[in-house]
Amino acid sequence: MRVPLSWLAEYVDLPPGTSLDDVHAALVRVGLEEEDVHTFDLQGPIVVGEVLEFVEEPQTNGKTIRWCQVRVAPEGEQAADGGDAVHGIVCGARNFFVGDKVVVTLPGSVLPGPFPIAARKTYGHVSDGMIASAKELGLGEDHDGILRLSTLGVDAPVGTDAIALLGLDDAAVEINVTPDRGYAFSIRGVAREYAHATGAVYRDPAAQVPAATASADAFPVEVRDEAPIRGRVGASVFATRIVRGIDPTRPTPAWMVARLKLAGIRSLSLPVDITNYVMLELGQPIHGYDLDALQGGIVVRRAAPGETLETLDGKVRTLHAEDLLITDDRGAIGLAGVMGGASTEIGDATTNVLIEAANFDPVSIARTARRHKLPSEASKRFERGVDPAVAGAAAARVAQLLVDLAGGVADERGSLIHEAPAREAIHLPDGFVTGLIGVEYTADEVHDALAEIGGAVARVEGGFDVVPPSWRPDLTANVDLAEEVARLLGYDRIPSVLPVAPPGRGLTRAQRVRRGVADAL
């Protein structure tokens, strides 16, 4: 899981000057190990420029270049590299026009590689810098043309620092998430762990967006699982929300593109990017459907013999009887928790979107993902356990972003099926944690640590009854709770003590004979 610092700072207070090393050290204290760090690896001056004019010049090699005049500083001011306000730049791209705002890497700047930029003679001109593409900046894979800021919904004065403007000064720490800690596959979960480690104030993003009112006359949804695996229904929670009238031409904003890139996800389109963004933020996988492509309501069921589905990757897959499907009146429209179907994909002309946020059985999803060789960010989270209480808030968060960024209008009501069983209390006897860990913990310390992780802690005769939080399916026994107390109060409190060897019974007669023979020889 990659965690951009700017995103983390929205939900916990990071002290000024907090570095990646500081965040790493804090997370290690609560058992989250760092695997890597990620930055855009850029060095300025990289600024906003405006194309004033250009001349197309055919070359003998068959290529046509553009000799451009680009304003890189306000009129009458010096450029960030100390040069004139207007730079002459050679560019091979053809996807820009006079008046476009672009990103200019001035002489002295460094791109990932490292690739230093300098004024150099090429095609009969001295190119005083470079107009950058999204790929050259580390923002995407598009190398066919330069990055026009309008495609990111960005406008800024000429000469503005483009690194800060586009969020390219951000950095991310990548942590190793063990199978029992699926909640850490989200900014929400990692922020909570950082708060545990440092005492920083934590703001739960799931609590900041109210879920829609569930209504029977909202979009129809039915779970019809007639062959649950190991007795567990395939979908215990299923929430939907509808947003109508989105503008399919709206670009994904630069700040979201940068965060997704740092988190390891490529920007595709605004609606899809929003679903991925909320998945990373809350840990709840989301799927969006083109509402106008659906026929009838949604039924969640197992696959029928011989049933097929064309998935989003363009492959037609023959389904297995254990596969959990999302279907409409025509048939299968998605492999639940793994990959959607091509027939209801959100496309360039989609204006009405149905949002799905569900909680699927981990075993069912794991088997389907392996059977069809379809590992995904969604299946990875479902396999490890997703918070069943966050689905409604996640659907509402997607709706909020589609309204704010895509210009849509959200239906006030949504559908919600919630049949997840309530967590049972675990009894933790007085002295149990101390006896197991070997450290003297007070009752108040035990109570406060378990309350801090989100548990509902009640004092009862002889100990505590603790209901684990919904996002911690790994907490199932009193030993798990004891481990949490030790983790939050610090492993450094546990002394390093060598075990005392039990007294032996001495050598047997046969051993004494063999040793005597060996000594004699």
Q: Strands 413-414, 298-302: parallel, antiparallel or unpaired by DSSP?
A: unpaired
- Find out whether 80 and 106 touch, Cβ atoms under 8 Å: yes
Strand partners, 237: 359, 418
* DSSP characters over 433-456: HHHHHSS---HHHHHHHHHHTT-E
Q: Which of 112, 138, 165 is the C-terminal boundary of a domain? A: 165
The full DSSP string for 334-389 is EETTTEEBGGG---TT---EEEEEEEE-HHHHHHHHHHTT---HHHHHHHH---TT
> Among 297, 322, 320, 293, which residue's Cα sits nearest to residue 307?
320
Higher pLDDT, 213 or 181: 181
Lowest mean pLDDT among 44-58, 93-107, 141-155: 141-155
Is the domain of 17 the same as that of 83?
Answer: no
Residues 67 and 211 occupy one common structural domain:
no
The pLDDT score that the predictor gives to residue 291 is: 97
Q: How crowded is residue 511: how many other Cβ atoms within 10 Å of its Cβ?
A: 10
**Polymer length of the chain:** 521
pLDDT 10s digits, 136-151: 999 887 767 899 999 9
Q: Cis before residue 74, ω within 30 degrees of 0?
A: no
Whether 411 and 495 map to the same domain: the answer is no
Could you report the per-residue pLDDT of 222-256, keeping only the tens digit for each? 999 999 998 899 999 999 999 999 999 999 999 99
Q: Strand, coil or helix: what is 127?
A: strand
The domain that holds 144 is classified in CATH as 2.40.50.140
Q: Are strands 235-244 and 416-418 parallel, antiparallel or unpaired?
A: antiparallel
Are both 406 and 392 inside the same structural domain?
yes
Same domain, 343 and 196: no
What is the structure's pLDDT at 512?
86
Amino acid (one-letter) located at 281: E
DSSP 8-class letter at 43: B
| 13: helix, strand or coil | coil
Same domain flag for 370 and 261: yes
Domain boundary among 393, 418, 443: 418
Mean of all residue pLDDT scores within the chain: 93
CA atoms within a 13 Å half-sphere pointing along the CA-CB vector of 292: 9
Prediction pTM value = 0.90
* Residue 258: both structure tokens together: 């940068």
Query: For residue 492, is pLDDT > 90?
Result: no
Q: What's the alpha-carbon Rg for the chain, to the nearest Å?
A: 29
Q: What are phi and psi of 361, to 5 degrees?
A: -60, 125
144 and 225 inside one domain = no
Q: Say if CB 466 and CB 484 are below 8 A apart.
A: no
User: Is residue 467 located within the same domain as residue 401?
Assistant: no
Q: What is the 3-state secondary structure (H, E, C) of 144-159?
A: CCCCEHHHHCCCCCCC
List the structure tokens of 21: 């090393």
Same domain as 198, residue 183:
yes
Q: Are residues 282 and 384 in the same domain?
A: yes
Burial class (CB in 10 A: 0-12, 13-18, 19+), 37: middle
Both 84 and 6 in one domain: the answer is no
Query: How many Cβ atoms sit within 10 Å of the Cβ of residue 294?
Result: 18
What whole-number percentage of the chain has pLDDT above 70?
98
Task: At 161, give phi and psi (nearest 5°).
Answer: -65, 110
Residues 6+ apart with CB under 8 A from 205: 10, 11, 187, 188, 191, 281, 282, 397
pLDDT at 419: 83
pLDDT at 362: 95
Buried residues in 381-407 as b, exposed as e (16+ CB within 10 A): bbbbbbbbbbbbbbbbbbbbbbeebbe
pLDDT of residue 351: 97
Domain, as residue range, for 8: 2-38+171-203
247-303 pLDDT, tens digit each: 999 999 999 999 999 999 999 999 999 999 999 999 999 999 999 999 999 999 999
How far is the CA of 152 from the CAs of 136, 167, 267, 458, in angstroms?
A: 16, 12, 11, 51
Average pLDDT value for residue range 464-469: 96
Could you tell me the CATH number of the domain that includes residue 452? Answer: 3.30.56.10
* Domain match, 236 and 178 both: no
Q: Residues 29-42: pLDDT tens digits?
A: 999 988 899 999 99
**Contact between residue 10 and residue 205 where contact means Cβ atoms under 8 Å apart:** yes
Q: How far apart are CA 340 and CA 325, in angstroms?
A: 10
Q: Give the mean model confidence (pLDDT) for residues 51-68.
A: 93
Last residue of a domain, one of 142, 165, 188: 165
d(CA 359, CA 312): 21
495 preceded by a cis bond (ω within 30 of 0):
no
- Tally of structural domains, the chain: 4
pLDDT in tens, 414-452: 999 888 888 999 999 999 999 999 999 999 999 999 999
- The first and second tokens of residue 32, run together, are 């989250």
Contact 352, 292 (CB under 8 A): yes
Please, which pLDDT band fits residue 520 given cuts at 50, 70 and 90?
A: confident
